Amino acid sequence: MKRDLDPQRRRVTGQAPAVGRQLLIAAVPALALAFLGPALVVAQTPEPIAPIPFQLELDQRKIDLGEALFHDVRLSRKNENACSSCHDLDNGGDDGLAKSRGLGGKAGRRNTLTIFNSTLNFRLMWDGRFASSEQQVEAAIHDPTVMGETWPAIIDKLSRDQALSQAFAGLYPEGLQPQTITDAIVVYERSLTTPNARFDKFLRGDAAALGPDELEGYSLFKTYGCASCHQGVNVGGNMFQVFGVLGTPGDYFRSHGAAADPDFGLYNTTRVEEDKFVFRVPSLRNVALTAPYFNDGSAATLTEAVDAMAKYQLGRQISSRDNALIVAFLRTLTGEYKGRPLDARPSQ
Ligand code: HEC
Ligand code: HEC
């Protein structure tokens, strides 16, 4: 893969992932420091997080078609999986497992990412290897552990379905094609945003939306420097970082049972030495609903994940009180889908 990453997105490093680790180490505490200081200074700093927009300009007929396809097992080998088998909208948009369970029950390589707000990320997947949702669909269809199917077989199955063929013909002049199937799924994915989290209400000026503990948690999230990586509309998803930026990259995996066969992140795709252990900073939207955490699912709770972040990304230990306050803040990032809070959905 050629390095075609948008340098604008790298706000912490200001450079491509090939940046020297020293620079990263210097940048994080410097940014953390920038947030420190009297409350007045913090109040004048523009917020590092923006609310998710309410309005989406999408064709509802394509959303409906994409929704049907997302739940359709005919997109997989032996009709075994649908996208929704692993991305359960009633369960935070993921599967609740440490690592995904693929075709034939085979263990997947990584933790399933939520499908909610995925189109707000600058790149896709834990290692950010895809630049577009279309690329991701193409790869998921052919991945033997995910859908394991071919386009000709899918078109063959779907074209026997008269209602579906007609729906496609009505919306796309080309009818049922790999690119029209992909387009409908991607339009549906764009509709899967979760606006109106309590935190977004606060950002829009509703001071009563957060309690004192949650407000203090947000303040700590900024002063510790979490927001130097988890920021923007998706509270993440807009830059690459090394997992283990302070210390020896890979330490986290070495101490979590993957010493012999660690996940090298972006390096798996680029084979550029400096990309070892580089991952996309994940979104923290709805993070209270997507346990377990990290690309290997090794942190069972938010408390564990926050402790690991403090240690490996900020090089410090934080008190259990501060940890609990930050977790209280993270819980305010749970948004709404179709006007209903995600944590009020059936299985929550
Ligand atoms: C077997 C479980 C499984 C199935 C089935 C599955 N996925 Fe996923 N999905 C995953 C896992 C695991 C990841 C993260 C993989 C990685 O980062 O390497 C993921 C990641 C994604 C992402 C990236 C999200 C982000 O924030 O970067 C999108 C989008 C996505 N899947 C869409 C789909 C679509 C569309 C389908 C159906 C065509 C599908 N998935 C089928 C397990 C699954
Ligand atoms: C230097 C950048 C950086 C800093 C600073 C940072 N993070 Fe992270 N965070 C990451 C990366 C990269 C990952 C993904 C790790 C992986 O590959 O599993 C991550 C993952 C997480 C996750 C797990 C998300 C999931 O869906 O599994 C949580 C929760 C989290 N961070 C919270 C925090 C908090 C709270 C702080 C401050 C104490 C913080 N982070 C500081 C880069 C950072």
With vertex at residue 126, the alpha carbon angle to CA 125 and CA 130, rounded to the nearest 5 degrees, is 30
Q: Which CATH class is domain 60-191?
A: mainly alpha
Closest Cα to atom 20 of ligand 1: 113
pLDDT at 106: 84
**Radius of gyration (Cα) for the chain, nearest Å?**
21
CA-to-CA distance for 87 and 95, rounded, in angstroms? 6
Q: Which CATH number fits domain 18-53+195-344: 3.40.50.2300, 3.30.300.30, 3.10.20.90, 1.10.760.10?
A: 1.10.760.10
Tell me if 164 sits within 8 A of 68, measured CB to CB. yes
Task: Determine if ligand 1 sits within 6 Å of the CB of residue 83.
Answer: yes
* Ligand 1 binding pocket includes 342 (Cβ within 6 Å): no
Q: Give the number of C-alpha atoms closer than 13 A to the C-alpha of residue 199, restricted to the C-beta side.
A: 31
pLDDT score at 249: 76
Are 18-53+195-344 and 60-191 the same fold in CATH? yes
Q: What integer pLDDT is reported at residue 56 of this predicted model?
A: 86
Residue with structure tokens 């309005």?
A: 55
Q: CB of 116 closer than 6 A to ligand 1?
A: no
Q: Are 114 and 94 in contact (CB under 8 A)?
A: yes
Q: Is 163 exposed, middle or buried (0-12, 13-18, 19+ CB in 10 A)?
A: exposed
- pLDDT of amino acid 144: 93
Could you tell me if the CB of 113 is within 6 A of ligand 1? Answer: yes
**What is the whole-number distance in angstroms between the Cα of residue 2 and the centre of ligand 2?**
26
Ligand 2 nearest atom to the CA of residue 310, by list position: 38
Instruction: Give 32-59 pLDDT, tens digit per residue.
Output: 444 443 333 344 468 999 999 998 899 9
* Residue 225 Cβ < 6 Å to ligand 2: yes
Sign of CA dihedral 151, 153, 156, 161: negative
Pocket test for ligand 2, best of 230, 267, 287, 302 (most atoms within 8 A of CB): 230
Can you say how many angstroms the Cα of residue 345 is from the centroid of all Cα atoms in its chain? 20
Residue boundaries of the structural domains of the chain: 18-53+195-344, 60-191
CB-based contacts of 195, cutoff 8 Å, min separation 6: 51, 52, 53, 54, 335, 336
Quick check: CB of 114 below 6 Å from ligand 2?
no
Q: Among all ligands shown, which has an atom nearest to the Cα of 282?
A: 2
pLDDT of residue 30: 42
Question: pLDDT value at position 317?
Answer: 93
Residues of the chain with pLDDT under 50: 1-44
316's tokens: 């410090």
pLDDT at 108: 85
Distance CA(250)–CA(259), nearest Å, equals 8
